[in-house]
Amino acid sequence: MNMQVESPEIDANRINSKKIMRRAWLITVLLIIFQMVNFADKAVLGLVAESVMSELGMTSTEFGFIGSSFFFLFAISGIIVGFIAEKVQTRWLILLMGLSWAILQFPMLLGGGAMALLVTRIVLGAAEGPASSISLTHVQGWFEPTSRGFPSSLVASGTTLGPVIAAPILAYIIAHPDLGWRWAFGFLGLVGVVWTILWALVFKEGPYSHFNKAQENVETSVKTVVYDPNSKSIASSVDALKPVAIRKILLSKMFLAAFLAGLGCFWSLGFLTTWAPKYIAALGSFSPEIIATVSSLPWILGAVSLAGAGFISRLLMKRQATVHVSLGVVFGLLVLISGIAFYLIPLLSGWVCILLITIAAGFAMCFPLATMAVGFSVCSKQRAAVMATLVATASIGGMVSPTMVGYLMDTAGYVQPPKGVPMSAQMAENLITGIHHGFEYIGLYMIVAGIITILFLNPDQLAKKLIK
């Protein structure tokens, strides 16, 4: 009787593979929380808007400028750190970001005024600029190429889960007579400190990272990838790509399409994190808790749609669909729907506006799909630099949005009432009129950007062109 016995080496491979996957999913969970903290730090400004504007005597344009200031250094730091990631392990970059985010929350807790708020938002923007690209680069180092879409989308969904979970907590803190809006910043600082300690205890580079030099040994169980010129999808061969001139990627139709769509997505993000709570308050007489809950609806939809799109992309790639179809087309359709919803908001009123802004802003949060798609056009060593450049340049939309909307509100005749004085019906109407003008402009823009994205966000075509 013939019996086949597996060798100890095969058993060792299996054991090590299981260990790697356990660590991979632990890292994924921590990075989801990392992104949750990231976007809770952004969203807090919108939640404290009413209190800060009244207490510090700020106009809409002035407060909008502080909202925009977050993105002043966002792009520059994102690009610089993206290129640094070619030489410095991403685990250390993430540790440094987490620690700096926490520290930057405390000046407002300790009594900082308008200038302190401005300075800390600028520096915080610089510290958070590389977060998306670096966290996606790190998590992709833990999974083989065709399986990266789902964990990457889960990490990206942390950007939408952060405000969802934080908004009710922060609203309670802001409304509490013994705490107030300053403790909203303090709470986020404490959360950041705890996360940083946890990350320092478990962080490690993944087996698919370009820093891992032992890609064929038993310890990592990672196989060498060979480029297949006959494959329609670049997904199975992306780790076989070699470094190319970065300018060829940045000047491509693929990158331009992702950039144009990203401008619109960041415009929406800038609005959500600065003006959404005030806009919702103007639509009806809601308590702070209800405003915080309603403000979280776009983030909830963003989390669900991003995770769902990532899961769909994983299924499509497993069935040999191209990255263009799996990520590019899916993202382009979401941008197109977002644009249509934005454009329709000024034509309607009441709860229908809340439904439409939930759809418009929620689908706009799927920009990480574009970042993931672009990452498939380049080798692992250059991936962080390319993705960081995309996020950084697209963030210009977030810089424009808060000031633009604040200016449109002022132009429409809105004046912030003094502390303790409720907003009049006329002022509410003026606020809504100004914001709706912004929705008309961004709606038309995103409709066009969505169509361009569907046609040209094609990393398969670009990668094959560059490898020749």
Looking at residue 161, its pLDDT comes to 78
CA separation, residue 174 to residues 171, 179, 207, 388 (Å): 5, 7, 44, 34
Among 86, 3, 44, residue whose Cα is nearest residue 386: 86
Report how far Cα 139 is from the mean position of its chain's Cα atoms: 15
One digit per residue, pLDDT tens: the chain, 468 residues? Answer: 444 434 344 444 454 577 888 888 999 999 999 988 887 887 788 888 888 888 888 888 888 888 888 888 887 888 888 888 878 888 999 999 999 999 999 998 888 888 899 999 999 989 988 888 888 888 888 887 777 777 887 887 787 777 778 878 888 888 888 888 889 999 999 999 999 999 999 888 888 877 764 444 434 444 445 455 566 777 777 767 788 888 899 999 999 999 999 999 999 988 988 888 889 888 877 777 788 788 889 988 988 888 888 888 888 888 888 999 999 999 999 999 999 999 999 998 878 999 999 999 999 989 989 998 998 888 877 887 888 889 889 989 988 998 999 999 999 999 888 777 888 889 999 999 999 999 999 999 999 999 999 999 999 888 888 776
Residue pair 443/214 in contact (Cβ under 8 Å)? The answer is no
CA separation, residue 340 to residues 4, 54, 131, 264, 295 (Å): 62, 35, 29, 12, 20
Among 156, 174, 117, 154, residue whose Cα is nearest residue 39: 156
Looking at residue 391, its pLDDT comes to 86
Longest distance between any two alpha carbons in the chain, whole Å: 91
DSSP letter, residue 169: H
Looking at residue 239, its pLDDT comes to 67
Looking at residue 468, its pLDDT comes to 65
Rounded Cα distance, 459 and 254, in Å: 7
Looking at residue 159, its pLDDT comes to 75
Looking at residue 15, its pLDDT comes to 44
Helix, strand, coil percentages in the chain from 3-state DSSP, rounded to 5: 75, 0, 25
Q: Which two tokens stand for residue 114?
A: 């308008």
Looking at residue 357, its pLDDT comes to 94
pTM: 0.74
**Sequence-distant (≥ 6) Cβ neighbours of residue 351 within 8 angstroms:** none
Instruction: Tell me the one-letter amino acid at 9.
Output: E
Degrees (nearest 5) of the Cα angle 169, 269, 309? 90
Per-residue burial over 63-72, b = 16 or more CB atoms within 10 Å of its CB, e = otherwise: bbbbbbbbbb
Looking at residue 93, its pLDDT comes to 93
Looking at residue 405, its pLDDT comes to 93
